[in-house]
Amino acid sequence: MAHSQIVTCIDELEQHARTHLPKNAFDYYSSGANDQRTLAENRAAFYRLRFLPRILRDVSQVDLGVSLLNGTQTLASPICIAPTAMQRMAHPDGEIATARAAAASESLMILSSWSTTSIEDVAAANGNAGARWFQLYVYRDRAVTAQLVKRAEQSGYTALVLTVDTPILGRREADIRNGFRLPPHLRLANFSETDSKATGVSITDKKDSGLAAYVAAQIDQTLTWKDVKWLQSITKLPIILKGVLSPEDATLAVDHGVQGILVSNHGARQLDGVPATIEALPGIVAAVGSRCDVYLDGGVRRGTDVLMALALGAKAVFVGRPVLWGLAYKGEEGVQIALTLLQQELKLAMQLAGCSKLADLTPSLVVSASTYTHAKL
């Protein structure tokens, strides 16, 4: 795809990234775990659903506006940016470009703990108009963890997204083959050299996958529900648990007073064989009811995917790789292209489905394809 050409869908951005990014980076961004069964399922499960559109409803005006976390976070659209590590491998501007594009698109950005730009610099790029949450990995060293929380609070991040599906890194075989490590000109910008070397393993060390070794050394595998309480004791920010797939855990999350649940399988990069997130969503929505927000990420590549997730009860959806592909295409402008494409596709899908606002979306808009395959004619 030439730079002057019009980008018509997210998959085109991915194709561009595949042919333009260094293999080490593209493989890291695109991979799932093991046989990548869940990676395929995250897309395939959307394909197994069908819309039952309603007709003869006035769809001349469409409002994509949404408010999250009990009305404390209002957004122009429910399409938001999932945290992805090390964005400067995709474009020299990395997280700065993402933060600017998010603000320009009135979207919400979650910044990864593992950004290649600091918490403070991303906040400055996102600006007063921007909406930003901070994704937290809990380090064995709780002083390091508490410091991240404090810096996020001081820099105007309005929620903490605690990732709970990564006590250890999933098995990503391309990274093992490539001996993946962060290119030497980049660093995990939120940590000092001393922090990241504290246990003798750095992400740039020459191991099979530098990343897996670093996670094993640094991330706290003892994490339990009591640590959610610990986090609540050191911050007043709302907490969203990211990586929930079981309805039982969703209930526990609500019982522990979290304000949001992000139904996620980490872009199929952790435990291979877990369900697609769109399959896991209804059970979690049923367990949680209106007691806290439920969001979804994983395999969202089309406005129609967004519409399905919202109809099945997600308040907002997050995209990971589409933002990386946008970055790789044209930095800030590329991320805006990705977000705008999804927003326009969502608006169009809503009009064609007979919906003019998000409150019109109900589960009756979506049915399983098997309803038709097995129908007695």
Ligand X SMILES: Cc1cc2nc3c(=O)[nH]c(=O)nc-3n(C[C@H](O)[C@H](O)[C@H](O)COP(=O)(O)O)c2cc1C
Which residues are known catalytic residues? 266
Nearer to ligand X, 39 or 125 (CB): 39
Q: Is residue 38 close enough to count as binding ligand X by CB under 6 A? A: no
Q: Is residue 260 close enough to count as binding ligand X by CB under 6 A? A: no
Q: Is 266 annotated as a binding residue?
A: yes
Least separation, in Å, of the C-beta of 213 and ligand X?
A: 16
Least separation, in Å, of the C-beta of 63 and ligand 7N5?
A: 34
Least separation, in Å, of the C-beta of 70 and ligand X?
A: 23
Q: Is 362 annotated as a binding residue?
A: no
Q: Is residue 329 close enough to count as binding ligand 7N5 by CB under 6 A? A: no
Q: Is residue 112 close enough to count as binding ligand X by CB under 6 A? A: yes
Q: Is residue 190 close enough to count as binding ligand X by CB under 6 A? A: no
Tell me which residue of 149, 150, 110, 116 sits closest to 130, measured CA to CA: 110
Q: Is 28 annotated as a binding residue?
A: yes
Q: Is residue 215 close enough to count as binding ligand 7N5 by CB under 6 A? A: yes
Region near ligand X per CB under 6 A, out of 152-160, 206-214, 281-289, 314-322:
314-322
Q: Is 172 annotated as a binding residue?
A: yes
Q: What is the contact surface with ligand 7N5 in residues (CB under 6 A)?
A: 85, 114, 137, 166, 169, 215, 219, 266, 269
Contacts with ligand X, residue ranges (CB under 6 A) = 28-29, 42, 82-85, 112, 114, 135, 163, 242, 264, 266-267, 269, 297-300, 319-321
Query: Per the annotation, where are the binding residues for glyoxylate?
Result: 28, 137, 172, 266, 269
Residues annotated within a binding site for FMN:
83-85, 112, 135, 163, 242, 264, 297-301, 320-321
- Summarize the annotated binding site as residue ranges: 28, 83-85, 112, 135, 137, 163, 172, 242, 264, 266, 269, 297-301, 320-321
